[in-house]
Amino acid sequence: MWAELLPVGRSSASGGYRRYAWTGADADCRAWFRQQAEARGLAYEVDRNGNQWAWLGDPAAGNAVVTGSHLDSVPDGGAFDGPLGVVSAFAALDELRGRGARLTRPLGIVNFGDEEGARFGLACVGSRLTAGALTVEQAHRLTDGDGVTLPQAMEAAGYDPEGIGPDPERLARIGAFVELHVEQGRALDLSGDRVGIASAIWPHGRWRFDFRGEANHAGTTRLADRRDPMPSYAETVLAARREAELAGAVATFGKIAVEPNGVNAIPSLVRGWLDSRAADQASLDTVVTAIEKAAREYAAAHGVDLTVERESFTPVVEFDHALRDELALILSSDTELRVPVLGTGAGHDAGILSGRVPTAMLFVRNPTGVSHSPAEHATEDDCVAGVSALADVLEGLART
Protein backbone atom coordinates (compact mmCIF):
# COMPACT_ATOMS: atom_id res chain seq x y z
CA MET A 1 0.00 0.00 0.00
CA TRP A 2 2.81 2.44 0.84
CA ALA A 3 4.55 1.74 -2.44
CA GLU A 4 1.41 2.68 -4.38
CA LEU A 5 0.78 5.85 -2.41
CA LEU A 6 4.37 7.11 -2.29
CA PRO A 7 4.54 8.77 -5.73
CA VAL A 8 1.08 10.38 -5.54
CA GLY A 9 1.28 14.19 -5.37
CA ARG A 10 4.98 14.12 -4.50
CA SER A 11 6.97 17.16 -5.56
CA SER A 12 10.27 16.15 -7.15
CA ALA A 13 11.69 19.54 -6.16
CA SER A 14 10.97 19.38 -2.41
CA GLY A 15 10.34 15.68 -1.86
CA GLY A 16 7.17 16.73 -0.02
CA TYR A 17 3.52 15.97 -0.77
CA ARG A 18 1.06 18.38 -2.32
CA ARG A 19 -2.20 16.49 -2.03
CA TYR A 20 -4.72 19.31 -1.83
CA ALA A 21 -8.47 18.81 -1.69
CA TRP A 22 -10.21 18.16 -5.00
CA THR A 23 -7.02 18.31 -7.10
CA GLY A 24 -5.59 15.62 -9.35
CA ALA A 25 -3.37 14.26 -6.56
CA ASP A 26 -6.42 14.06 -4.29
CA ALA A 27 -8.30 12.18 -7.01
CA ASP A 28 -5.42 9.68 -7.25
CA CYS A 29 -5.51 9.15 -3.46
CA ARG A 30 -9.26 8.64 -3.63
CA ALA A 31 -8.92 6.14 -6.48
CA TRP A 32 -6.38 4.25 -4.36
CA PHE A 33 -8.79 4.15 -1.39
CA ARG A 34 -11.59 2.81 -3.55
CA GLN A 35 -9.28 0.18 -5.02
CA GLN A 36 -8.21 -0.97 -1.53
CA ALA A 37 -11.84 -1.21 -0.42
CA GLU A 38 -12.93 -3.16 -3.47
CA ALA A 39 -9.90 -5.45 -3.39
CA ARG A 40 -11.03 -6.52 0.11
CA GLY A 41 -14.66 -6.97 -0.90
CA LEU A 42 -15.78 -4.04 1.26
CA ALA A 43 -18.87 -2.00 0.42
CA TYR A 44 -17.61 1.35 -0.87
CA GLU A 45 -19.47 4.65 -0.72
CA VAL A 46 -18.87 8.41 -0.83
CA ASP A 47 -21.00 10.52 1.48
CA ARG A 48 -22.64 13.86 0.62
CA ASN A 49 -19.59 15.75 1.91
CA GLY A 50 -17.11 13.81 -0.20
CA ASN A 51 -15.76 11.54 2.57
CA GLN A 52 -15.00 7.98 1.45
CA TRP A 53 -16.19 4.93 3.41
CA ALA A 54 -15.50 1.20 3.16
CA TRP A 55 -17.68 -1.21 5.11
CA LEU A 56 -17.41 -4.74 6.40
CA GLY A 57 -20.89 -5.64 7.55
CA ASP A 58 -23.99 -3.48 7.18
CA PRO A 59 -23.55 0.01 8.66
CA ALA A 60 -27.33 0.36 8.86
CA ALA A 61 -27.17 -2.17 11.72
CA GLY A 62 -25.68 0.67 13.80
CA ASN A 63 -23.13 0.75 16.62
CA ALA A 64 -20.36 0.47 14.02
CA VAL A 65 -16.68 0.59 14.88
CA VAL A 66 -14.98 2.99 12.47
CA THR A 67 -11.31 3.73 11.91
CA GLY A 68 -9.41 5.82 9.37
CA SER A 69 -7.90 9.24 8.86
CA HIS A 70 -7.16 11.42 5.82
CA LEU A 71 -5.08 11.25 2.65
CA ASP A 72 -4.66 14.96 1.84
CA SER A 73 -1.56 16.91 2.89
CA VAL A 74 -0.26 20.32 3.87
CA PRO A 75 1.99 22.05 1.31
CA ASP A 76 5.12 19.88 1.07
CA GLY A 77 3.89 17.57 3.79
CA GLY A 78 5.26 14.21 4.83
CA ALA A 79 4.16 10.72 3.84
CA PHE A 80 2.71 9.69 7.21
CA ASP A 81 0.38 12.43 8.46
CA GLY A 82 -2.99 11.05 7.46
CA PRO A 83 -2.07 8.13 5.18
CA LEU A 84 -0.61 6.13 8.09
CA GLY A 85 -4.10 6.01 9.65
CA VAL A 86 -5.75 4.87 6.42
CA VAL A 87 -3.07 2.35 5.44
CA SER A 88 -3.06 0.99 9.01
CA ALA A 89 -6.85 0.67 8.92
CA PHE A 90 -6.72 -1.60 5.84
CA ALA A 91 -3.69 -3.46 7.25
CA ALA A 92 -5.48 -3.99 10.59
CA LEU A 93 -8.47 -5.43 8.73
CA ASP A 94 -6.14 -7.83 6.92
CA GLU A 95 -4.63 -8.76 10.27
CA LEU A 96 -8.08 -9.42 11.78
CA ARG A 97 -9.01 -11.62 8.84
CA GLY A 98 -5.71 -13.45 9.23
CA ARG A 99 -6.52 -14.08 12.88
CA GLY A 100 -10.00 -15.30 11.96
CA ALA A 101 -11.46 -12.67 14.27
CA ARG A 102 -15.24 -12.78 14.70
CA LEU A 103 -16.71 -9.28 14.63
CA THR A 104 -20.26 -8.73 15.83
CA ARG A 105 -20.36 -5.03 14.94
CA PRO A 106 -20.03 -3.44 11.48
CA LEU A 107 -16.49 -2.22 10.78
CA GLY A 108 -15.91 0.95 8.73
CA ILE A 109 -12.81 2.53 7.23
CA VAL A 110 -12.99 6.22 6.36
CA ASN A 111 -10.95 8.77 4.41
CA PHE A 112 -12.09 12.23 5.49
CA GLY A 113 -11.78 14.86 2.76
CA ASP A 114 -9.78 18.09 3.09
CA GLU A 115 -8.44 17.51 6.61
CA GLU A 116 -5.45 19.82 6.35
CA GLY A 117 -7.26 22.82 4.92
CA ALA A 118 -4.29 23.57 2.66
CA ARG A 119 -6.47 24.79 -0.20
CA PHE A 120 -9.39 26.61 1.43
CA GLY A 121 -7.74 27.70 4.68
CA LEU A 122 -10.04 25.75 7.00
CA ALA A 123 -9.00 22.40 8.45
CA CYS A 124 -11.21 19.28 8.68
CA VAL A 125 -13.82 20.47 6.17
CA GLY A 126 -15.13 16.95 5.45
CA SER A 127 -15.68 16.02 9.09
CA ARG A 128 -16.83 19.52 10.08
CA LEU A 129 -19.55 19.45 7.44
CA THR A 130 -20.66 15.97 8.50
CA ALA A 131 -20.75 16.94 12.17
CA GLY A 132 -22.52 20.23 11.47
CA ALA A 133 -19.52 22.16 12.79
CA LEU A 134 -19.36 24.06 9.48
CA THR A 135 -22.58 25.44 8.02
CA VAL A 136 -23.47 25.09 4.36
CA GLU A 137 -23.34 28.90 4.01
CA GLN A 138 -19.84 29.01 5.48
CA ALA A 139 -18.75 26.16 3.20
CA HIS A 140 -20.04 28.03 0.16
CA ARG A 141 -17.90 31.02 1.10
CA LEU A 142 -14.67 28.99 1.27
CA THR A 143 -12.42 30.11 -1.59
CA ASP A 144 -8.96 28.98 -2.65
CA GLY A 145 -6.05 31.19 -3.74
CA ASP A 146 -7.37 31.29 -7.33
CA GLY A 147 -10.87 32.36 -6.32
CA VAL A 148 -12.37 28.89 -6.82
CA THR A 149 -15.06 28.12 -4.23
CA LEU A 150 -15.37 24.78 -2.45
CA PRO A 151 -18.56 23.80 -4.34
CA GLN A 152 -16.90 24.72 -7.66
CA ALA A 153 -13.83 22.64 -6.76
CA MET A 154 -15.99 19.66 -5.78
CA GLU A 155 -17.94 19.91 -8.98
CA ALA A 156 -14.78 20.16 -11.09
CA ALA A 157 -13.56 16.97 -9.40
CA GLY A 158 -16.78 15.20 -10.39
CA TYR A 159 -18.63 15.41 -7.06
CA ASP A 160 -22.08 16.90 -6.58
CA PRO A 161 -21.83 19.75 -4.03
CA GLU A 162 -25.64 20.11 -3.78
CA GLY A 163 -26.00 17.79 -0.81
CA ILE A 164 -23.18 19.07 1.42
CA GLY A 165 -24.09 19.67 5.05
CA PRO A 166 -24.79 17.93 8.37
CA ASP A 167 -25.17 14.17 8.17
CA PRO A 168 -26.58 13.08 11.55
CA GLU A 169 -27.97 9.79 10.18
CA ARG A 170 -24.47 8.70 9.18
CA LEU A 171 -22.99 9.68 12.53
CA ALA A 172 -25.79 7.89 14.37
CA ARG A 173 -24.54 4.58 12.91
CA ILE A 174 -21.12 4.98 14.51
CA GLY A 175 -20.65 3.51 17.96
CA ALA A 176 -16.93 4.30 18.20
CA PHE A 177 -14.37 6.08 16.01
CA VAL A 178 -10.67 5.34 16.49
CA GLU A 179 -8.13 7.34 14.45
CA LEU A 180 -4.54 6.14 14.28
CA HIS A 181 -2.05 8.91 13.52
CA VAL A 182 1.70 9.43 13.42
CA GLU A 183 2.68 11.44 16.49
CA GLN A 184 3.46 15.06 15.67
CA GLY A 185 5.79 15.59 18.59
CA ARG A 186 8.41 13.65 20.54
CA ALA A 187 6.48 12.43 23.60
CA LEU A 188 6.66 8.76 22.59
CA ASP A 189 10.28 9.06 21.53
CA LEU A 190 11.15 10.59 24.88
CA SER A 191 9.22 7.95 26.85
CA GLY A 192 10.61 5.14 24.69
CA ASP A 193 7.20 3.78 23.62
CA ARG A 194 5.98 2.73 20.19
CA VAL A 195 2.29 3.53 20.58
CA GLY A 196 0.25 5.96 22.70
CA ILE A 197 -3.38 6.83 23.39
CA ALA A 198 -4.59 10.43 23.06
CA SER A 199 -6.01 12.22 26.09
CA ALA A 200 -6.97 15.57 24.59
CA ILE A 201 -6.36 17.96 21.71
CA TRP A 202 -5.27 21.43 22.73
CA PRO A 203 -7.60 24.30 21.85
CA HIS A 204 -6.33 26.05 18.75
CA GLY A 205 -7.20 28.71 16.24
CA ARG A 206 -6.11 30.74 13.23
CA TRP A 207 -6.12 34.53 13.16
CA ARG A 208 -5.52 36.80 10.16
CA PHE A 209 -3.55 39.99 10.80
CA ASP A 210 -3.88 42.68 8.09
CA PHE A 211 -1.32 45.45 8.42
CA ARG A 212 -2.28 48.20 5.93
CA GLY A 213 0.10 51.01 5.07
CA GLU A 214 0.92 52.89 1.89
CA ALA A 215 2.75 51.61 -1.17
CA ASN A 216 5.56 53.86 -2.30
CA HIS A 217 8.98 53.90 -3.95
CA ALA A 218 11.66 52.06 -1.98
CA GLY A 219 14.35 54.47 -3.20
CA THR A 220 12.81 57.90 -3.06
CA THR A 221 10.54 57.76 0.00
CA ARG A 222 12.22 59.12 3.12
CA LEU A 223 12.05 56.72 6.08
CA ALA A 224 10.21 59.35 8.10
CA ASP A 225 7.52 59.65 5.42
CA ARG A 226 6.76 55.93 5.15
CA ARG A 227 3.73 54.02 6.33
CA ASP A 228 5.44 50.64 5.93
CA PRO A 229 3.49 47.71 7.41
CA MET A 230 6.42 45.27 7.24
CA PRO A 231 8.36 46.38 10.36
CA SER A 232 5.26 46.17 12.58
CA TYR A 233 4.49 42.75 11.14
CA ALA A 234 8.06 41.65 11.87
CA GLU A 235 7.84 42.95 15.43
CA THR A 236 4.56 41.10 15.86
CA VAL A 237 6.19 37.82 14.81
CA LEU A 238 8.82 38.32 17.51
CA ALA A 239 6.15 39.21 20.07
CA ALA A 240 4.27 36.00 19.22
CA ARG A 241 7.36 33.95 19.94
CA ARG A 242 7.97 35.78 23.24
CA GLU A 243 4.36 35.54 24.47
CA ALA A 244 4.11 31.84 23.56
CA GLU A 245 7.26 31.09 25.54
CA LEU A 246 5.89 32.97 28.55
CA ALA A 247 2.61 31.02 28.51
CA GLY A 248 4.03 27.57 27.69
CA ALA A 249 2.00 27.68 24.48
CA VAL A 250 2.89 27.74 20.77
CA ALA A 251 2.32 30.57 18.30
CA THR A 252 3.36 30.57 14.65
CA PHE A 253 3.20 33.01 11.77
CA GLY A 254 3.72 30.50 8.96
CA LYS A 255 1.98 32.20 6.05
CA ILE A 256 2.31 35.71 4.71
CA ALA A 257 0.98 37.68 1.75
CA VAL A 258 2.51 40.99 0.71
CA GLU A 259 1.13 43.61 -1.67
CA PRO A 260 2.36 44.72 -4.10
CA ASN A 261 5.17 42.22 -3.35
CA GLY A 262 7.91 44.05 -5.20
CA VAL A 263 11.55 44.21 -4.17
CA ASN A 264 11.67 47.97 -4.78
CA ALA A 265 8.23 48.81 -3.37
CA ILE A 266 7.23 49.66 0.18
CA PRO A 267 4.33 47.29 0.88
CA SER A 268 0.77 48.58 1.08
CA LEU A 269 -0.40 45.41 2.83
CA VAL A 270 1.22 42.69 4.88
CA ARG A 271 -1.20 39.91 5.72
CA GLY A 272 0.06 37.31 8.18
CA TRP A 273 -1.72 34.29 9.59
CA LEU A 274 -1.21 33.36 13.24
CA ASP A 275 -1.72 29.78 14.37
CA SER A 276 -1.74 29.44 18.14
CA ARG A 277 -2.44 26.54 20.52
CA ALA A 278 -2.15 25.92 24.24
CA ALA A 279 -2.99 23.20 26.75
CA ASP A 280 -6.01 25.14 28.04
CA GLN A 281 -8.32 27.92 26.95
CA ALA A 282 -7.08 30.49 29.47
CA SER A 283 -3.45 30.18 28.31
CA LEU A 284 -4.49 30.45 24.68
CA ASP A 285 -6.59 33.57 25.37
CA THR A 286 -3.66 35.12 27.23
CA VAL A 287 -1.24 34.51 24.37
CA VAL A 288 -3.46 35.72 21.55
CA THR A 289 -4.62 38.81 23.47
CA ALA A 290 -1.02 39.74 24.24
CA ILE A 291 0.08 39.27 20.61
CA GLU A 292 -2.79 41.40 19.32
CA LYS A 293 -2.08 44.14 21.88
CA ALA A 294 1.59 44.23 20.87
CA ALA A 295 0.66 44.25 17.18
CA ARG A 296 -1.64 47.27 17.70
CA GLU A 297 1.13 49.19 19.46
CA TYR A 298 3.66 48.44 16.70
CA ALA A 299 1.14 49.33 13.99
CA ALA A 300 0.28 52.63 15.67
CA ALA A 301 3.96 53.48 16.00
CA HIS A 302 4.41 53.03 12.22
CA GLY A 303 1.19 54.80 11.20
CA VAL A 304 -0.22 51.50 9.95
CA ASP A 305 -3.83 50.26 10.25
CA LEU A 306 -4.37 46.82 11.72
CA THR A 307 -7.36 44.52 11.56
CA VAL A 308 -7.35 41.12 13.24
CA GLU A 309 -9.88 38.48 12.31
CA ARG A 310 -10.30 35.02 13.84
CA GLU A 311 -10.72 32.67 10.88
CA SER A 312 -11.22 29.44 12.75
CA PHE A 313 -11.27 28.13 16.26
CA THR A 314 -11.50 24.69 17.84
CA PRO A 315 -12.00 24.45 21.60
CA VAL A 316 -10.18 21.88 23.74
CA VAL A 317 -11.21 18.32 22.87
CA GLU A 318 -11.26 15.76 25.66
CA PHE A 319 -11.55 12.32 24.09
CA ASP A 320 -14.24 10.01 25.46
CA HIS A 321 -12.95 8.76 28.81
CA ALA A 322 -14.81 5.44 28.75
CA LEU A 323 -13.54 4.59 25.26
CA ARG A 324 -10.03 5.69 26.20
CA ASP A 325 -10.09 3.41 29.23
CA GLU A 326 -11.42 0.56 27.07
CA LEU A 327 -8.53 1.03 24.62
CA ALA A 328 -6.03 1.03 27.48
CA LEU A 329 -7.58 -2.16 28.88
CA ILE A 330 -7.55 -3.92 25.50
CA LEU A 331 -3.93 -2.96 24.88
CA SER A 332 -2.84 -3.92 28.40
CA SER A 333 -3.28 -7.60 27.44
CA ASP A 334 -0.05 -7.21 25.45
CA THR A 335 2.49 -7.19 28.24
CA GLU A 336 5.29 -6.27 25.83
CA LEU A 337 3.61 -2.98 24.97
CA ARG A 338 3.42 -0.02 27.35
CA VAL A 339 0.87 2.50 26.07
CA PRO A 340 1.11 5.96 27.63
CA VAL A 341 -1.71 8.51 27.44
CA LEU A 342 -0.67 11.85 25.94
CA GLY A 343 -2.10 15.18 24.80
CA THR A 344 -1.45 16.81 21.44
CA GLY A 345 -1.34 20.26 19.90
CA ALA A 346 -2.47 18.99 16.49
CA GLY A 347 -6.08 19.02 15.27
CA HIS A 348 -7.71 15.91 13.80
CA ASP A 349 -10.99 14.70 12.34
CA ALA A 350 -11.32 12.61 15.51
CA GLY A 351 -11.46 15.87 17.45
CA ILE A 352 -14.24 17.22 15.25
CA LEU A 353 -16.29 14.03 15.61
CA SER A 354 -15.72 13.76 19.34
CA GLY A 355 -18.69 15.98 20.15
CA ARG A 356 -20.98 13.58 18.26
CA VAL A 357 -19.63 10.06 18.71
CA PRO A 358 -17.32 8.34 21.21
CA THR A 359 -13.88 8.95 19.77
CA ALA A 360 -10.32 7.89 20.55
CA MET A 361 -6.89 8.17 18.96
CA LEU A 362 -3.77 6.05 18.79
CA PHE A 363 -0.40 7.66 18.11
CA VAL A 364 2.59 5.94 16.53
CA ARG A 365 6.07 7.07 17.55
CA ASN A 366 7.80 9.67 15.40
CA PRO A 367 11.52 9.50 16.20
CA THR A 368 12.23 13.14 15.35
CA GLY A 369 8.82 14.61 16.13
CA VAL A 370 9.01 16.41 12.77
CA SER A 371 5.68 16.67 10.97
CA HIS A 372 4.18 18.74 8.14
CA SER A 373 7.56 18.30 6.43
CA PRO A 374 9.09 15.74 4.06
CA ALA A 375 11.32 14.70 7.00
CA GLU A 376 8.30 13.30 8.88
CA HIS A 377 9.03 9.68 9.73
CA ALA A 378 8.07 6.52 11.59
CA THR A 379 10.03 3.28 11.51
CA GLU A 380 8.56 0.20 9.88
CA ASP A 381 8.68 -1.66 13.22
CA ASP A 382 6.69 1.09 14.93
CA CYS A 383 4.16 1.24 12.09
CA VAL A 384 3.68 -2.53 12.39
CA ALA A 385 3.23 -2.16 16.16
CA GLY A 386 0.60 0.50 15.40
CA VAL A 387 -1.27 -1.81 13.02
CA SER A 388 -1.19 -4.61 15.57
CA ALA A 389 -2.47 -2.30 18.34
CA LEU A 390 -5.21 -1.00 16.05
CA ALA A 391 -6.23 -4.56 15.13
CA ASP A 392 -6.38 -5.45 18.85
CA VAL A 393 -8.53 -2.40 19.54
CA LEU A 394 -10.90 -3.04 16.62
CA GLU A 395 -11.25 -6.69 17.56
CA GLY A 396 -11.77 -5.85 21.24
CA LEU A 397 -14.38 -3.18 20.46
CA ALA A 398 -16.17 -5.16 17.77
CA ARG A 399 -16.70 -8.07 20.16
CA THR A 400 -18.34 -5.94 22.85
Interacting residues toward Zn ion by CB under 5 A: 81-82
List, in order, residues 6 or more apart from 241 with CB less than 8 Å away.
Answer: 251
Rounded CA-CA distance 200/347 in Å is 10
Q: How far is the CB of 170 from Zn ion (least distance, A)?
A: 21
Nearer to Zn ion, 82 or 229 (CB): 82
Residue type, 316: V
* Residues whose CB falls within 8 Å of the CB of residue 382, separated by 6 or more in sequence, listed in order: 194, 195, 364, 365
Provide, rounded to whole angstroms, the least separation between the CB of residue 332 and Zn ion: 27
- Shortest separation between residue 253's beta carbon and Zn ion, angstroms: 21
- Write down the least CB distance from residue 181 to Zn ion, Å: 6
Of 111 and 283, CB closest to Zn ion: 111
Tell me the closest approach of the beta carbon of residue 81 to Zn ion, in angstroms.
4
Give min distance, CB of 188 to Zn ion, in A: 16
If the CB atoms of residues 80 and 253 are measured against Zn ion, the closer one turns out to be: 80
Q: Which is nearer to Zn ion, 197 or 269 (CB)?
A: 197
**Which three-class secondary structure state does DSSP give residue 54?**
strand
Select 364 or 397, whichever has its Cβ closest to Zn ion: 364
Q: Which is nearer to Zn ion, 54 or 84 (CB)?
A: 84
Distance CA 143, CA 135 (A): 15
Phi first, then psi, for residue 291 (nearest 5°) are -65, -45
Q: Smallest gap, in angstroms, from Cβ of residue 23 to Zn ion? A: 17
Q: Which residue, 116 or 292, has its beta carbon nearer to Zn ion?
A: 116
Handedness of CA 187, 191, 194, 199 (dihedral sign): negative
The sign of the torsion formed by the CA atoms of 99, 105, 106, 108 equals negative
In the 8-state DSSP scheme, what is residue 21? T
Q: Give Rg (Cα) of the chain.
A: 22
CA-CA distance, 363 to 194, in Å (whole number)? Answer: 8
Q: Which residues of 275-291 are buried (b: 16+ CB within 10 A; e: fewer)?
A: bbbbbeeebbebbbebb
